[in-house]
Amino acid sequence: MQLLFAFIAGGLFGAGLFTSGMTDTTKVQGWLDVFGNWDPTLAFVMGGAMVPMAIAWIIAEKRKSSVLGTPLPPNPSTTIDRNLALGSVMFGLGWGLAGLCPGPVIASLSYGGSSLWIFLIAMLSGMLVAPHLRLRLDRQLPAE
Amino acid sequence: MPMDWIWGLIGGLLIGSGGAVYLLMNGRIMGASGIIGGLVDGSGRATKWERLIFLAGVAGIPVMLTALFGKIDTHVTDNIGVLIAAGLLVGIGTRIANGCTSGHGVCGMSRLSLRGFAATIFYILAGGLGVVLFRHILGVI
């Protein structure tokens, strides 16, 4: 059952990324480019996505476990540390550079051509080395 | 196009519904970088198959939609250097920050998570600066 709902959730996510136009890199870069021909679409996507998600969090708060009986995520941490800031800045630069983030890359693999696969391989390589970089960073320059 | 924002809103509602299903049914946060990253480094609570099947949905439903409505032009660059640099930055950055646009943005901010808001401000500012730098100053994109 968990696998079925994982597919349904992923399918809705993919359908939403496709429908919203977020797999078109010019729409992402157009939203980030406040000095160019600014495209507001991304704000509507983000706003639209947060409505059902906020309702889901309100329902989740009243429950002890998920419908399928698995534990719900713990309360979020409130510490804004060096890794959150540094990682998000790195991610933002890459996002602006290619107009791609992890969700839309997967959603457009079937129609984005070889560029998407090159980006995906680079992203997976980055994800593979990230835990090692993070460990080294924490050892040499403690965040606190 | 003038109708783009309506499609954005509809698409957004679909994305949020996916996140709601993943949270309420499976008890998981729908963060793309976490779901992919867990496959690469074995971290997190979800099982390998749960992740793979989620991603099969993300990639598979657009295959069906392109068959029905035609392909979307991704306008993605074919500059290999840009693709590799951007892919590495996105891969390393999202894993060091523990989240991307879906995890910190959609799922984090909608539960009023301070880290979600902070991460989103950081990556949007960096993305905006990146586009100004790479497009208007360096002219590489």
**Tell me: the pLDDT tens digits for A86-118?**
999 999 999 999 999 999 999 999 999 999 999
> Quick count: other Cβ atoms within 10 Å of Cβ A61?
10
Query: Does A34 touch chain B if contact means CB atoms closer than 8 Å?
Result: yes
> B43-76: string of b/e by CB count within 10 Å (b at 16+)?
ebebeeebbbbbbbbbbbbbeebeeeeeebebeb
Q: Give the model confidence (pLDDT) of A40-88 as tens digits.
A: 999 999 999 999 999 999 999 999 999 999 999 999 999 999 999 999 9
ipTM of the complex: 0.96
Q: What residues of B are in contact with residue A118 (Cβ under 8 Å)?
A: 80, 83-84, 87
* Residue B122 domain boundaries: 4-137
- What average pLDDT does this structure show over B39-46? 94
Entry pTM: 0.96
Q: Is the pLDDT of residue A4 over 90?
A: yes
Q: Is the pLDDT of residue B54 over 90?
A: yes
**B68 CA to chain A: closest CA distance, Å?**
12
pLDDT at B2: 67
pLDDT at B1: 58
Q: SS3 for A71? A: strand
pLDDT at B7: 96
| Structural domains counted in chain B | 1
**A144 CA to chain B: closest CA distance, Å?**
16
Query: Does A66 touch chain B if contact means CB atoms closer than 8 Å?
Result: yes
pLDDT at A109: 97
- d(C-alpha A38, C-alpha A109), whole Å: 26
- What average pLDDT does this structure show over B92-101? 97
Of A20, A113, A126, the CB nearest to B11: A20
pLDDT at A83: 96
pLDDT at B141: 84
**Chain-chain contact of B22 with A120 (C-beta, under 8 angstroms):** no
Q: Is the pLDDT of residue B73 over 60?
A: yes
- Inter-axis angle of helices A82-98 and B114-131, to 10 degrees? 40
**B46 CA to chain A: closest CA distance, Å?**
10
Of A55, A123, A137, the CB nearest to B20: A55
A102: nearest Cα among A73, A127, A83: A127
- Judge contact between B128 and B116, C-beta under 8 A: no
Query: Does A138 touch chain B if contact means CB atoms closer than 8 Å?
Result: no
pLDDT range class, residue B125, cuts 50, 70, 90: very high
